């Protein structure tokens, strides 16, 4: 048997195991430790999981962000404006944030500035309510990645994505430092949402 780097015994076998991804699971033959249960996924295993995950048409996980009533009401109004359900709008904001915003070379600073401004504009003392948002495999992978890189919990990623998108829509271009970038992102976000809304 191979050596397990977790429990430091020679207990690693190659056998069928359930790999859990959110609420879903896939059974694969993988290296795993008989003693401590650690599963070691090879890049090939990861590829198989991705292939499977990307074909799933249902959500794999429920994430539970908290929003103040003020932010909830604003996002509900935007959703209505675009003819979307609230959760659809939240998911679109999250997707836009993770797949588009993060690609910008100024993302780090822009994120700081946007979050600081939303904290100033929206009352943080306002009552916060937990909401449920179901997410797909693809979104979950991207959330996990962001969560690792920026050390933010998954549900908090959704919260900040929504805050930043509302920031862009509401007052982004008033922030002088990022006037141009935020104005462009606002247009992109609007197009992104409209594109989805008309295809949904
Ligand atoms: Zn072990």
Taking a C-beta distance cutoff of 8 angstroms, is the pair 147, 140 a contact?
A: no
Per-residue HEC secondary structure of the chain comes to CECCCCCCCCCEEEEEEEEEECCEEEEEEEEEECCCCCEECCHHHHHHHHHHHHHCCCCCEEECCEEEHHHHHHHHHHHHHCCCCHHHHHHHHHHHHHHCHHHCCCHHHHHHHHHHHHHHHCCCCCCEEECCEEECHHHHHHHHHHHHHHCCCHHHHHHHHHHHHHHHHHCHHHCHHHHHHHHHHHHHHHHHHHHHHHHC
Question: How many angstroms does the Cα of residue 14 sit away from the middle of ligand 1?
Answer: 13
Distance between CA atoms of residues 134 and 200, nearest Å: 17
Cβ count near 85 (within 10 Å): 12
Residue with tokens 């599963």: 39
pLDDT at 50: 94
Is the pLDDT assigned to residue 134 strictly greater than 70? yes
Angle at 160 between CA 129 and CA 183, to 5 degrees: 125
Question: How many angstroms does the Cα of residue 49 sit away from the middle of ligand 1?
Answer: 22
Angle at 191 between CA 64 and CA 94, to 5 degrees: 15
Question: How many angstroms does the Cα of residue 23 sit away from the middle of ligand 1?
Answer: 25
**How large a percentage of the chain has pLDDT more than 70?**
100
Question: How many angstroms does the Cα of residue 51 sit away from the middle of ligand 1?
Answer: 27
Q: Which residues surround ligand 1, an ion (CB under 5 A)?
A: 4, 6-7, 33, 35-36
Question: How many angstroms does the Cα of residue 8 sit away from the middle of ligand 1?
Answer: 6
Question: How many angstroms does the Cα of residue 158 sit away from the middle of ligand 1?
Answer: 34
Distances (CA, A) of 177 to 110, 165, 173, 181, 190: 9, 17, 9, 9, 21
Token pair of 96, please?
């836009």
Question: How many angstroms does the Cα of residue 103 sit away from the middle of ligand 1?
Answer: 38
Question: How many angstroms does the Cα of residue 3 sit away from the middle of ligand 1?
Answer: 8
Is the pLDDT assigned to residue 3 strictly greater than 90? yes
pLDDT at 200: 62
Question: How many angstroms does the Cα of residue 16 sit away from the middle of ligand 1?
Answer: 16
Question: How many angstroms does the Cα of residue 135 sit away from the middle of ligand 1?
Answer: 32
Mean pLDDT of 40-69: 93
Question: How many angstroms does the Cα of residue 45 sit away from the middle of ligand 1?
Answer: 19
Question: How many angstroms does the Cα of residue 26 sit away from the middle of ligand 1?
Answer: 21
pLDDT by residue (tens digit) across 65-118?
999 999 999 999 999 999 999 999 999 999 999 999 999 999 999 999 999 998
Question: How many angstroms does the Cα of residue 97 sit away from the middle of ligand 1?
Answer: 38
């Amino acid at each position: 048997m191979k050596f397990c780097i977790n429990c430091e015994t020679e207990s690693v076998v190659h056998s069928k195991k359930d790999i859990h991804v959110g609420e879903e699971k896939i059974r694969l033959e993988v290296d795993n430790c008989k003693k401590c249960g650690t599963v070691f996924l090879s890049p090939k295993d990861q590829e198989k999981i991705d292939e499977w995950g990307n074909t799933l048409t249902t959500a794999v996980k429920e994430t539970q962000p908290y929003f103040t009533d003020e932010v909830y009401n604003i996002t509900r109004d935007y959703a209505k404006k675009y003819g979307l359900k609230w959760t659809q709008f939240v998911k679109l904001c999250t997707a836009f944030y993770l797949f588009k915003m993060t690609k910008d070379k100024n993302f780090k600073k822009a994120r700081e500035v946007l979050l600081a401004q939303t904290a100033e504009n929206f009352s943080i003392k306002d009552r916060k309510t937990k909401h449920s948002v179901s997410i797909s495999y693809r979104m979950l992978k991207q959330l996990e990645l962001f969560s690792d890189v920026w050390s933010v919990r998954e549900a908090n990623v959704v919260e900040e994505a929504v805050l930043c998108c509302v920031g862009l829509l509401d007052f982004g271009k008033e922030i002088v430092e990022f006037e141009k970038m935020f104005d462009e992102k606002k247009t992109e976000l609007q197009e992104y949402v409209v594109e989805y809304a008309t295809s949904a």
